[in-house]
């Protein structure tokens, strides 16, 4: 198989297949969560559950000062690479073009050198996060093979993207194909692992905020 054939395979049928597994899988996960429902709450509310839920969906992006003091490394590194990942995913011009062609919506993108720098920082952040996971007693204790798997597929997407952008693998169609394949692995793995937190975290935050909001506490 030539590099161009490989690229066409990853861009064509494999991409379609990965996208189908991703869309189907994520919706199965979300709907199966929501379909479980909640018991009716008879207690008289003190505050608004819905407003509390919506606020918490946003508020958990801001770490509370006590947590920052207790675990500054987690907070900073975690935020840095999450933001970096999302920026690289959504604000890199080739990705915007891809989204436009797939979903029909587009938005302004960032200059390539900016995305490049952010990607480099994100890769360093991911490496730091792995070292921390291996070294920190609590993280090491909690970690399962799945945690390392999702780190791996995330790292693979970032590093292959970086290598392709800098044309460090030759020929370029091979580099691009590898990156697209890595993204497809990410998409396929996502619904079956805790990578679903990309979506379910907002559901979780809503329920958390709604439970506390009903009692008049902004969580």
Partner 1 sequence: MVTASPHRPDGRPAPARQATLGESLRRNGVSRRGFLKFCAATASMMALPPSMAPAIAAALESARRPSVIWLSFQECTGCTESLTRSFSPTVENLILDTISLDYHHTLQAAAGDAAEHAREAAMHANAGEYLVVVDGSLPGPGANPGYSTIAGISNYDMLMETVADAAAVIAVGSCAAFGGLPKASPNPSGAVAVQDLVKDKPVINVSGCPPLPMVITGVLAQYLTFGKLPELDQYNRPLAFFGQSIHDRCYRRPFYDKGLFAETFDDEGAKKGWCLYRLGCKGPMTYNACATMKWNGGTSWPVEAGAPCLGCSEPDFWDAGGFYDALSVPPGNSGDMLLAAGAAGVAVGAGVGLLARSQAKGAAKQHQTVTAEELEQKL
Partner 2 sequence: MTEAVLTPGADLPESSGTTQAAGGFSLARGLNALREEMDAPVASFFSSCVHCGLCATACPFFVETGDPKYTPIHKLEPMRILWEQEFTFWGKLKGVLREKLPLDKLGLDKHFAGKQVTDEMLAEWEPLLYDSCTMCGRCSMVCPVGNDIQYMIRKAREGQVASGHSPEGLVAASVRAVNTGSPMGLKWKTLDVQIRHVEQSTGLEVPIDKQGADYLVLLSSMEIINFPEYLEALTKIFAHAGVSWTLSQQCFEATNAGIQIGSKDIAAVLVQRVVDAAEALDVKNVISPECGHAYTAIRWEGPNAIKRAYPFKVFHIIEVLDQLRADGRIKTEGREDDRLSLHDPCNLARKSGVIQQQRNLMDLVAENFVDLKEHGKMQWCCGAGGGVSSNERAEALKLAAFKKKKAQIEEVEPDRMVTMCATCRTQLEEGLEEFTMDIPVIGLTELIADHLVESDEGTHA
Nearby residues of 58 by Cβ (< 8 Å), 6 or more positions away: none
142 near partner 2 (CB under 8 A): yes
111 scored as a contact of partner 1 (CB under 8 A): yes
Nearer to partner 1 by Cβ, of 75 and 120: the residue is: 120
Segment near partner 2 (CB under 8 A), from 71-79, 83-91, 110-118, 158-166?
A: 71-79
Minimum CB separation from partner 1 for residue 219, in Å? 25
Here the tokens at position 171 are: 């020929």
37: left (phi over 0), alpha (psi -120 to 50) or beta: left
Listed in sequence order, the DSSP H helices in the chain are 3-11, 13-36, 49-59, 65-70, 72-91, 93-103, 112-135, 137-142, 145-165, 172-189, 197-214
Q: Which stretch binds partner 2 (CB under 8 A): 44-52, 85-93, 114-122, 171-179?
A: 44-52
Of positions 4, 64, 102, 117, contacts partner 2 by CB under 8 A: 64
Among 11, 60, 132, 136, binds partner 1 (CB under 8 A): 11
CB of 156 to partner 1, least distance (A): 18
Stretch of 13-21, 103-111, 171-179, 190-198 contacting partner 2, by CB under 8 A:
190-198
Residues 6+ apart with CB under 8 A from 197: 204
- Note the maximum CA span of the chain: 67
Q: What angle do CA 179, 183, 186 make, to 5 degrees?
A: 140
Site residues for partner 1 per CB under 8 A: 2-5, 7-8, 11-12, 15-16, 19-37, 93-95, 97-98, 100-104, 109-114, 167, 171-173, 176
């Amino acid at each position: 198989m030539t590099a161009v054939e490989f690229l066409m395979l990853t861009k064509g049928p494999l991409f379609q297949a990965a996208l189908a597994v991703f869309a189907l899988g994520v919706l199965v996960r979300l709907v199966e969560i929501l379909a479980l429902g909640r018991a009716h709450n008879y207690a008289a509310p003190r505050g608004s559950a819905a407003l509390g839920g919506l606020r918490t969906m946003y508020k958990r992006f801001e770490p509370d000062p006590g947590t920052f003091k207790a675990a500054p490394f987690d907070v900073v590194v975690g935020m840095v690479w999450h933001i970096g990942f999302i920026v690289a995913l959504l604000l890199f011009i080739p990705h915007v073009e891809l989204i436009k062609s797939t979903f029909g919506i587009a938005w302004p993108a960032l200059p390539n050198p900016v995305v490049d720098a952010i990607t480099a920082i994100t890769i360093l952040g991911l490496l730091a996060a792995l070292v921390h996971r291996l070294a920190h007693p609590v993280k090491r204790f909690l970690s399962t093979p799945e945690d390392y798997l999702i780190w791996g597929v995330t790292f693979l997407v970032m590093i292959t993207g970086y290598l392709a952008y800098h044309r460090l693998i030759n020929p370029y169609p091979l580099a691009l194909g590898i990156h697209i394949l890595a993204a497809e692995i990410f998409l396929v793995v996502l619904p079956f692992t805790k990578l679903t937190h990309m979506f379910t975290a907002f559901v979780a935050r809503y329920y958390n905020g709604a439970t506390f909001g009903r009692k008049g506490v902004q969580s």
